[in-house]
C-alpha cells in the first residue's frame, strides 16, 4: 500500500472558536493555475436557482447540538458549485473506479458522476476503470457516456467490476499520468479511501494537476463523520424482508426460533435499525456489546423465558457479534482478507447450533430453529428511492468539488448538508453504535431484551459481595 500519508491538516481558524477543517486545493501546490468561469452560469437548468453558487465561506458544522456557552467548533467546507473553476471542459479526462465489496447504489453513483460531468460541465471524456485499483495498471478501461450509463441504476452491483486489494500507489499514479487523467473519482470503503489518500499524496508530490475525490461506500455505515453511507437505507429495508420471513417461520410452529444474520463486521447499525423498523425482533446482538450464553441474565435464560411467554422468538445478529465466543484459536482471529479486514467465523450458524444443543440437553422444551443469512441478497439489489436520491447528491457534489480545484477529499452528508471532508478524517477510525446512547436504549426498550453487559456486571458484583461477606 505504500507509505502512510503525512500531509498536515489544513486548518482555518475564525472568531468565537470557529475551526474549518479544510480540504486541499490544487492551487496549494501548483502556482498560478488558470481560473475559468463556471459553465453552469449559462446552463438553463440552473438559471432559476437563486444564489446557486456556494459562497466561499460557507461551511457545515460537525456538531449541531450546542448550548449558549459552546464554542462554534469544527466545520467542513460546504459542497456545491463554485463561481470559478480550475478545469476547462475540453481538458478534463476523468476516471471512475469502484473497489471493495458490493453495495446498493454503486451504479447510481457511477451514473450521476458521468451525467454530472457531461450535462453540467460539458465533459465528454470519462473512463471507467475495470476491476478495482488493479485495473489502473492492468489497462482495463470502459468508455462511459450518458447513453451507456442511462439505466444502470436499475441494476445491482457495479458495471465496472470491483476487487479487494491490488493497490500499488506508484503504479496507479504512473497510469494516471500516462493516460492524461486529471480527475479521479474513487468509490469505496475505509480501506479504499486510505488508498485514495495515498494516491493524492503521490500526485501532490509529483506536482500533477489531478483532482482526487473519494465517495464513501460501506453498507455497514461504519465510516465516521458522515450521517450515513449510501446503500444503508436499502440494506435496512431488505433486511426487514429476512426478519419477516424468520418471524413467519418462528410463529408457525411451537417454540419456533428464527435467527437472522445481517451485515456488520465492526458496527451493528444495520441490525439495530432493522430491528427498530421491524418490531418483530426479540433479541438483537451487535459487535459493540458483548453477550454471554449461560447463567442468570444470559441468552439461554432469556430465550427460555421469551418462548414460554410468546411461544416463539426472533434473533437478529450482526456478523461481527460474539466473535470472541466463536473463535476457536488465536490464529483464526488474525486472518485477514485482501482489504485487511478480519476474517470472521459464521456467528449465525454458531449461535443456531448452540441454541439447538442447549435445548436438546435441557429436554424440557423442544424447539424448531430456522437460520436465514440474506447477506449477499441484500448487497446485490439495486438501491431504493431514498438511496438513489442520496447517490445523486454525492455524485454531483463530487463533480462540483473536482471542477472547483479541490482534491484529497471525500464527498459526504453531514447533518443533512453535503460537505467536503478531508481524507484523514474519514480514515481515522470507524463509526460504531454507542451503546450508552439513546438509540440503543430505544432498541432495548423495543425488544425488552436484557443488557447483557449490565446483567453480567451485576452478577460479578453480587459474587464479589458474597465472597467479601464470607471472608468477614
Q: Tell me the backbone φ, ψ of residue 19, rounded to 5 degrees.
A: -130, 120
Helices (H) and strands (E) in the chain, counts: 15, 17
Inter-residue contact 113 to 121 (CB < 8 Å)? no
DSSP code per residue over 11-31: EEE-GGGEEEEEPPBGGGTST
For the chain, the maximum distance between any two Cα atoms, rounded to a whole number of angstroms, is 87
Pairwise CA distance, residues 42 & 156, whole Å: 35
Inter-residue contact 130 to 140 (CB < 8 Å)? yes
- Beta bridge partners, 317, equal 261, 285
Inter-residue contact 410 to 420 (CB < 8 Å)? yes
220 flagged as catalytic? yes
Q: What is the grid cell recorded at 207?
A: 506536482
DSSP code per residue over 102-167: --TTHHHHHHHHHHIIIIIH---EEEEETTSGGGTTTT-EEE--TTTTTTGGGSSS-TT---S---
- From the list 383, 358, 351, 365, the residue with the least C-alpha distance to 307 is 365
Contacting residues for 67 by C-beta, under 8 A, at least 6 apart: none
Q: Which of 168, 220, 280, 387 is catalytic?
A: 220
The catalytic residues are 220
Amino acid at each position: 500500500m505504500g507509505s502512510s500519508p503525512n500531509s498536515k491538516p489544513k486548518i482555518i481558524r475564525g472568531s468565537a472558536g470557529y475551526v474549518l477543517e479544510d480540504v486541499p486545493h490544487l492551487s496549494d501546490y501548483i502556482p498560478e493555475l488558470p481560473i475559468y468561469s463556471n459553465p453552469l452560469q449559462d446552463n438553463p437548468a440552473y438559471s432559476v436557482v437563486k444564489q446557486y453558487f456556494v459562497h466561499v465561506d460557507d461551511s457545515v458544522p460537525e456538531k449541531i447540538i450546542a448550548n449558549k456557552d459552546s464554542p462554534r467548533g469544527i466545520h467542513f467546507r460546504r459542497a456545491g458549485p463554485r463561481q470559478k473553476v480550475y478545469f476547462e471542459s475540453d481538458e478534463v479526462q476523468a476516471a471512475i473506479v469502484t473497489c471493495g465489496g458490493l453495495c446498493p447504489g454503486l451504479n447510481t453513483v457511477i451514473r450521476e458522476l458521468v451525467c454530472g460531468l457531461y450535462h453540467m460541465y460539458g465533459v465528454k471524456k470519462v473512463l471507467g476503470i475495470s476491476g478495482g485499483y488493479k485495473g489502473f495498471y492492468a489497462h482495463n478501461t470502459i468508455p462511459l457516456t450518458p447513453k451507456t450509463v442511462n439505466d444502470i441504476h436499475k441494476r445491482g452491483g457495479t458495471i465496472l467490476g470491483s476487487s479487494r486489494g491490488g493497490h500499488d500507489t506508484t503504479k496507479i499514479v504512473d497510469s494516471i499520468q500516462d493516460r492524461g487523467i486529471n480527475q479521479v473519482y474513487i468509490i469505496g470503503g475505509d480501506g479504499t479511501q486510505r488508498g485514495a489518500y495515498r494516491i493524492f499524496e503521490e500526485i501532490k508530490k509529483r506536482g500533477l494537476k489531478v483532482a482526487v475525490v473519494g465517495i464513501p461506500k460501506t453498507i455497514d455505515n461504519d465510516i465516521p463523520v458522515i450521517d450515513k453511507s449510501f446503500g444503508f437505507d436499502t440494506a435496512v429495508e431488505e433486511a426487514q424482508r429476512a426478519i419477516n420471513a424468520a418471524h413467519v417461520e418462528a410463529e408457525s410452529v411451537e417454540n419456533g426460533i428464527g435467527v437472522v444474520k445481517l451485515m456488520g463486521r465492526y458496527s451493528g447499525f444495520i441490525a439495530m435499525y432493522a430491528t427498530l423498523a421491524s418490531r418483530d425482533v426479540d433479541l438483537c446482538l451487535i459487535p459493540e456489546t458483548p453477550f454471554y450464553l449461560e447463567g442468570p441474565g444470559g441468552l439461554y435464560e432469556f430465550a427460555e423465558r421469551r418462548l414460554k411467554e410468546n411461544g416463539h422468538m426472533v434473533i437478529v445478529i450482526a456478523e461481527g457479534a460474539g466473535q470472541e465466543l466463536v473463535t476457536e484459536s488465536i490464529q483464526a482471529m488474525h486472518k485477514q482478507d485482501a482489504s485487511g479486514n478480519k476474517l470472521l467465523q459464521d456467528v449465525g450458524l454458531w449461535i443456531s447450533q448452540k441454541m439447538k444443543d442447549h435445548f436438546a440437553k435441557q429436554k424440557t422444551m423442544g424447539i424448531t430453529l430456522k437460520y436465514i443469512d440474506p447477506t449477499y441478497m441484500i448487497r446485490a439489489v439495486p438501491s431504493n428511492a431514498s438511496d438513489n436520491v442520496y447517490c445523486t447528491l454525492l455524485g454531483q457534489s463530487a463533480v462540483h468539488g473536482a471542477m472547483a480545484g479541490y482534491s484529497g477529499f471525500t464527498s459526504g452528508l453531514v447533518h443533512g448538508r453535503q460537505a467536503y471532508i478531508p481524507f484523514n478524517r474519514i480514515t481515522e477510525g470507524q463509526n460504531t453504535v454507542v451503546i450508552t446512547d439513546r438509540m440503543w436504549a430505544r432498541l432495548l426498550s423495543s425488544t425488552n431484551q436484557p443488557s447483557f453487559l449490565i446483567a453480567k456486571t451485576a452478577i460479578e458484583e453480587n459474587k464479589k459481595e458474597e465472597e467479601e461477606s464470607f471472608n468477614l
